[in-house]
Structure 1
Amino acid sequence: MLIETLGSARDLGRLNEIAGVLMRHGFGDAVRRLGLADTLARAGHVLHRDHADELARLEPPQQVRRALEELGPTFVKLGQILAGRADLFGPEWIAEFARLHSRVPPVPLDSLRPQLVEDLGAEPEAVFARFDAEPLAAASIAQVHRAQLKDGTEVVVKIRRPNIRDKIEADLRLLERVAGAAAESWLALEPYRPRELVREFARSLRRELDLATECRNAERIAANLAVLPEVTIPRVHWAWTGERINVQDYIEGISGENLDRVSRQGLDRQLLARRGARAVLKMIVEDGFFHADPHPGNVFYLPGNRIAFIDFGMVGRVAPRRRDELLQLLLGLVEREPQAVADVLIEWTGGQHVVHLAQLEDEVEAFVDQFHGVPLAQLKLGDMLAQVTTILREHRLALPADLALLIKAFISLEGMGRGLDPAFNMAGEALPLLRQVLRTRYEPKALAQRGWQALRSTLAVASQLPHDLSQLLRRARQGRVHVAIEVAHLKRTGDLIDRAANRLALALVVAALIVGSSIVMTVGGGPTLLGLPAFGLLGFLGAVAGG
C-alpha cells in the first residue's frame, strides 16, 4: 500500500489534503485502490460535501481539471503538461487540461521583501531607480514586477514565491509514489509508463524552479537565433539574477493574445506568421533546443514586424538521432511517404505492447495516403501530427516525453500561425528548411565526422573485448556466472501474496488477543482499570488498535 511506502511522516499532512480533495471530487475508488484509504479517517474534517450534487453532474475530464486546480501549483503544472499529451488522452481531456491556468493572487511586496533583500543584497528601492510594488503578472511559481535600472533600462524582475520549493518537492515525492502504486493497481496503465511520465515532469518542474536556468536557456536560444535579426530575446542582467530571482529587459510590444491591435498598428500579419514559424522551426529542426511553450502569451510583436519570445522556463531538447528521425517523419508527412512515417513511429514507441504491428502500419499508411495529391498549401501539418498521435493512442502506445513536447510545440506553432494568417501554410514553410537540414546532414564533411566517431567507438569496443572475454571465462571457471530472470507479473503476484500473508498473521494475533482477553475478563483477582480486569481491558484495546 502507498501509505506503507512513505519513508517518513513529513508528507502525511499533504497526503491528507490530497486524499480529501480527490474524495470531494468523486475519486473515492481511486483513493482506495491507491492505498490511501487509511488516511481518510484523518482527512474526514476536510471532506466537505457542499458541492456534491454539482460535482456529480460534471463529466470526468471536468472533475479532474477542478481537482487539479484545487490541489495547487504542482498539479496545475502537471495538467498543463498533460494538455500536450494527445497520445495519452482524447480531445475532451486535452480541452479541459488546456483550460488550466496558473494565475493566482500575488504575494504582497512586504512578504517578498526579506527574500528580495537577501537575493539582491539591498532593498529593491536601493538597487533599482524605480521598482513597481504592484506586479505585472502573478503565477503559481513566480510573479513579475516592472522596474528601471539606474542607467534608465526598463526591466522586469521575476521573483519566486517564498517557500514554494518545499511544497512542490513534497508533491513530487507523493506523485512518484502515486505513479508507482497506480502502475501496480491498474495494469491497463502500463503502456503509458506513469513512472516515467512523473519522473520527466519532476525534472522539468525542478528546472523551472531555478530562475537562473531560465536565463541560461534564453541566452542559448538567443545565440542560436542571432542569424535572424527579426527575432528578439530579452537580455539578462546577471548582476541581479540567481535561483530565486532574475532580471531581464522589458519587452515593449503587442502581446500575441491581442491580434486586433496587431492589425491596428499596421503590422504585416502574414510576414509575422512566416517569421515566427521560421524561428521555431530553426530551434527544433536545426538547433535541437527549443521553446517548449510558444503560446500567444509568450510572444510579442514589435515595430518593424519583429518578434520577441519570452519565458524560457520550459524548453525541449532533441538529440541528434531524434532529430534525424523527426526529419524523416516530417518529410514523410509533407511528401506523403507512409512507410517512412510508420517506421519512425514504431521506432519511437519501441514497438511495446503492439499486439497487431501490421495493423498499426496499415492504419498509418492509410492515413498518410489520404493526402496523396493534396496541394502542399492545403496540408495542415499540426492537424496531421495530432491525428498521428490519435492513432498511437488507439493502439495504447505512448510517445517518449521529449517527443510529446516537440509535437505540442509544432501544433501550437501552426495554431499561432493560422491565428495571424488564416492562409498560413506550415508545411510550405517547413519543407525548405527540412530539405536544407537533410542535405547538411549528408554533406561529405558531416558524413566523415560521423564515420570517424563510429570508427572510434568500434575501436574502443574492440580493444576492450579481450579483457571482457577474459573476465567472463575467469568467472565461469570460478562458478560465479549468474543468470537473472525477472518476471514482472510473477513479482507482482508475490507481493500480493506477501501482503495477504501479513494481514492474515495480523488477523490471527488480533483473534488471539480477543480470545485471551475474554478469558482474562472472566477471572477474578489481579489489578483493575475502570472496574475491569486491567490485562483483559488492555488486550481488547490492543485488538482494536491492531484491527
Structure 2
Amino acid sequence: MIVETTISVILFVPTMVVTVWFFAAVIRRLLGVRLGPVRTILAAVLVLFATPPILQALAPDDPATLSSGEALLLGLVGVVIAALLAMVALVILEVLLPTGSLPGPVELWRGAVRRLARIRRYLTITRIVLRHGLGRFLRGRGDQGPTSAASRRRLGRSLRMALDEGGMTFVKLGQQLSTRRDMLPAEFVDELTTLQDRAAPVPWVEVAGVLAAELGRPVEEAFAWIDHEPLAAASVAQVHAARLPDGSEVVVKVRRPGVATVVERDLDILERLARTLEARTAWSRAFGARRLVAGFAEALREELDFTVERDNLQAMAAALAASPDRGVRVPAPYPALSSERVLVMERLPGTPLGSAKPLLERLGDERRAALAAGLLDTMLDQVLVHGLFHVDLHPGNLLVADGGSLGMLDLGSVGRLDTASRLAVGQLLGALGRGDSVAVSDALLQLVDRPETIDERELQRALGALIVRYAAPGSTAGATAVAGLLRTFTSYGLGVPPAVAAVFRAFATLEGTLALLKPGFDLIGYARSAGGRRLAEALGPDRLPGTLQEELAALLPVLRRLPRRVDRIGEALEQGRLRVNVRLFADDQDRQLVTGLLHRALLTVIGAAAGLMAVLLLGMGDGPRVTDGLGLFPLLGYCLLVVAVVLVLRVLVVIFRRD
C-alpha cells in the first residue's frame, strides 16, 4: 500500500507539471501574445481546478448513462469552457496589471525599503514647506501669487530658506533657479543668489577609504604627500592639496561618501513632485516644472561624475590651445589617477579673484583692462568658435596669478552650442556692432523656440526698444539687459532652449567677474565692437577665399545631383508618373490623437456588444445548471452586463473629463 501511494505521488507530480505546461502553451498560443510565465501558469492551474466543477454541472444526474463518446465530448467541452474562463481572467489581469508592472520578491522588498525612505523624506519636505508658508502653492487653486515687490521679496525669502533647509539637492536647485531670470521675478533671483553650497568636512579616514578604493592602492603609494585638511568642502565634494611622487603639485577632488544615494532619492522626489504639480497647478505648467527638473537632474548627475569634468578639462584645454594666447588656462587633469569619484588635476598658482584685490592693484589699470578684455575674448571664442564654454565663471572660479595670468576652475558643468546656434549668436553680435535692430531681432528669433502663432512685428518692436535702451553706445547695463531680454521672450511665449539660456547666464555671470578685474569695464560695448570686428575678420580679403571655398565644397554635391533630379522630375511629369508621397501621422501628437479616438471607439463597440449579448443571454432562460440555484446563461449574462457597464463608464469618463 505504501509503495503504491509513493508511485502514485511520483507519477502525479510530473503529470501535473506536463498538464500545466501544455495548458499554458495552448493559452499563450490562442491569445497570440507573450504573457508573463507566472500568470500563464496560474491560468493553467485555474483550468485544472475549474474543469471538474464545470463537468459536474454539465453532466446528467446519473453519469453512468453517458456513453464513452458522450463522456469524451463532455470532457472536451468542460476543458474548453475552463480554458476560456482562464483566458478571460488573463486578459482582465493584463488590463489591470500589465506584464512587468509587478516586481519580483527581491525587487518588491527593495522597493518597499526605498518607498519607506521616500515617505520619510516626503514628510520632512512637507514640514519644511508648511513651516515657511509655501503650502498654498502646492494646491491646485487659482492663486495668482504676490502682486507687489515687497510680497514677492517676502515669498522669495521664504523659498530661499526652505531650499536651504531642504539640503544639498534643493540648494543646488535654488542656485540653478537663480540663473533663470527669464522664469523668475528679480526679487526671487536676488534671494536665491545668496544660497551657499557649504558642508562640514568629511573625516580624513573616510576620504582615504574612497581614495584607496578608486586608485586601487594605498594613498601613500599614489601621492608623496597629501594634506589631510581640505582646501574647500562643499556638499558634493571636497578638495585636498597633494604632491605626486614626481614632485608635481596637484589638487585632489573627492566625492563625499553616500552623496549619490541622497541625490538620487531627492531627484526622484523632485521628479514626482514636478509631475504632481503640473497635473494640479497652472503656474507649474507655465513654468515647465518637469522640463526644468529633468534638466537640473541631468546637470547634477554630471556634476557627481568626475569623469565628465575630466573630459571637460581636456576639451577646454584643447580649445584654448587652438585660440590665440590671452593668458587664460585651465588645470590639466591626470586621467590615470581620476575616476567617477576622484579627480586629480594640476594645481594652478594664484589667488581667487574675490580676494585678489591687493594683487590686482599692483598690476595697474592698463594690465587689468587687458586681463578683462582677454577673458571676454576667451569667452567669445568658446561660444562662437568651439561651442564649449564655462557657464558659471563667477569670481570664485577664477584664479589670478602673480604674473597676471588667469586660471579657470570648476568645469563640472559646461555649456555646448551647436553650429546653427553659434552662427546665430555671431550674427547677433555682428548686428549689435552695426546697430541693426532688425538683424538683431532676426538673429534672436533663430535662437529661441517660436510658438505656432506670434505677432512678429510687435516682437521686433519690443526687441528694437530693448536694443536702443541697453545696446546703445555708453550703456553698461549688462545683466539688466539680459534679464530684460529674457523677460521679453517669456512675455511673447518664446521658449529659450537650455543651451541658449546657458549662454545668457554665462555672460550675465561674467559681468560681475569683469567688474572685479577692471571696475567700469563695458561688457556690452566691448562685445558689440568684438562682434563687429569678428564679422569683419570673417569677411576680410584674406578670409574670404577660404570661406568661399568651404561654401562651394559644401554646395558642390548638391549642384552635381541637381540636373539628374530635374531630369527625373521632368520625365515623370511627361509620362504622367509624377507622384507625391505624404507620410500620414508622422507627428507623435497626430498618432496619439488617432490612437485615442480608435481606442474609445473600440471600447464603445465592445461595450455595446457585451451589453447586447448580456440581454440575449438573460432572455434565454437558465441553460445548463452551474449550481442548484444558478444557471449558466444568467451567470454569463450578468458578467457580460458588468463588463459592458464598466467599458461604457470608462468611455464616458474620458469624454466628460476636463483636462
TM-score band (shorter)? Answer: 0.7 to 0.9
Mapped pair 1:239 → 2:343: no
CA distance in 2, matches of 1:90, 1:27: 17
Aligned match of 2:548? 444
Mapped pair 1:197 → 2:292: yes
Cα 1:152/1:368, change in 2 over 3 Å: same
Secondary structure of residue in 2 paired with 1:99: coil
CA distance in 1, matches of 2:188, 2:164: 15
Please say which structure displays the higher CA radius of gyration.
2
* Conserved? CA contact 1:234–1:250, under 8 Å: yes
CA distance in 2, matches of 1:248, 1:139: 18
Cα 1:242/1:337, change in 2 over 3 Å: same
* Conserved? CA contact 1:183–1:190, under 8 Å: yes
Aligned counterpart in structure 1 of residue 349 of structure 2, from 252, 270, 280: 252
* Conserved? CA contact 1:295–1:416, under 8 Å: yes
Aligned counterpart in structure 2 of residue 412 of structure 1, from 497, 504, 509: 509
How far did 1:430 drift?
2.7
Aligned match of 1:100? 195
Cα 1:133/1:33, change in 2 over 3 Å: farther
Deviations 1:402-436 (A, max 9, x none): 11111011112222212222232324433454346
Mapped pair 1:29 → 2:127: no
Deviations 1:124-161 (A, max 9, x none): 23321111111000111100011111111111100001
1:76-475 equivalent positions in 2, closer than 5 A? 76-226=171-321, 227-229=323-325, 230-266=327-363, 268-352=367-451, 356-370=455-469, 374-375=472-473, 377-395=474-492, 397-431=494-528, 433-435=530-532, 437-438=534-535, 440=538, 443-451=547-555
How far did 1:168 drift?
0.9
Cα 1:262/1:75, change in 2 over 3 Å: same
CA distance in 2, matches of 1:371, 1:297: 28
Aligned match of 2:632? none
Mapped pair 1:18 → 2:129: no
Cα 1:299/1:457, change in 2 over 3 Å: farther
CA distance in 1, matches of 2:483, 2:434: 17
CA distance in 2, matches of 1:158, 1:199: 26
How far did 1:289 drift?
0.3
Deviates more, 1:140-149 or 1:15-24: 15-24
CA distance in 1, matches of 2:328, 2:589: 57
CA RMSD of superposed structures (Å): 3.6
* Conserved? CA contact 1:288–1:318, under 8 Å: yes
How far did 1:88 drift?
0.5
How far did 1:397 drift?
4.0
Secondary structure of residue in 2 paired with 1:143: strand
CA distance in 2, matches of 1:67, 1:236: 37
How far did 1:220 drift?
0.7
Secondary structure of residue in 1 paired with 2:354: coil
* Conserved? CA contact 1:88–1:398, under 8 Å: no
Aligned match of 2:56? none
CA distance in 1, matches of 2:297, 2:561: 33
* Conserved? CA contact 1:87–1:397, under 8 Å: no
CA distance in 2, matches of 1:110, 1:345: 53
Deviations 1:226-251 (A, max 9, x none): 14441221111122100000111112
Deviations 1:43-79 (A, max 9, x none): xxxxxxxxxxxxx998110111111111122111111
CA distance in 1, matches of 2:418, 2:120: 41
How many pairs were matched up?
454
CA distance in 2, matches of 1:289, 1:482: 32
Which structure 2 residue ranges, 5 or more long, are not aligned?
1-100, 104-110, 142-150, 573-577, 601-659
CA distance in 2, matches of 1:6, 1:360: 52
Secondary structure of residue in 2 paired with 1:257: helix
Given residue 145 of structure 1, which amino acid in structure 2 is its aligned partner?
A: H
Deviates more, 1:97-106 or 1:395-404: 395-404
CA distance in 1, matches of 2:288, 2:515: 34
Q: Report the TM-score, using the length of structure 2 for normalisation.
A: 0.62
Cα 1:57/1:123, change in 2 over 3 Å: same
Given residue 366 of structure 1, which amino acid in structure 2 is its aligned partner?
A: A
* Conserved? CA contact 2:226–2:241, under 8 Å: yes
Q: Report the TM-score, using the length of structure 1 for normalisation.
A: 0.74
* Conserved? CA contact 1:263–1:269, under 8 Å: yes
CA distance in 2, matches of 1:239, 1:158: 14
* Conserved? CA contact 2:448–2:497, under 8 Å: yes
Which structure 1 residue ranges, 5 or more long, are not aligned?
35-55, 495-547
How far did 1:32 drift?
4.7
Aligned match of 1:509? none
Deviations 1:255-275 (A, max 9, x none): 110242223443532122112
CA distance in 2, matches of 1:412, 1:472: 50
Deviates more, 1:342-351 or 1:225-234: 342-351
Given residue 179 of structure 1, which amino acid in structure 2 is its aligned partner?
A: A
* Conserved? CA contact 2:140–2:282, under 8 Å: no
Secondary structure of residue in 1 paired with 2:253: strand
Identity in percent: 31
Cα 1:394/1:471, change in 2 over 3 Å: closer
Cα 1:456/1:33, change in 2 over 3 Å: farther
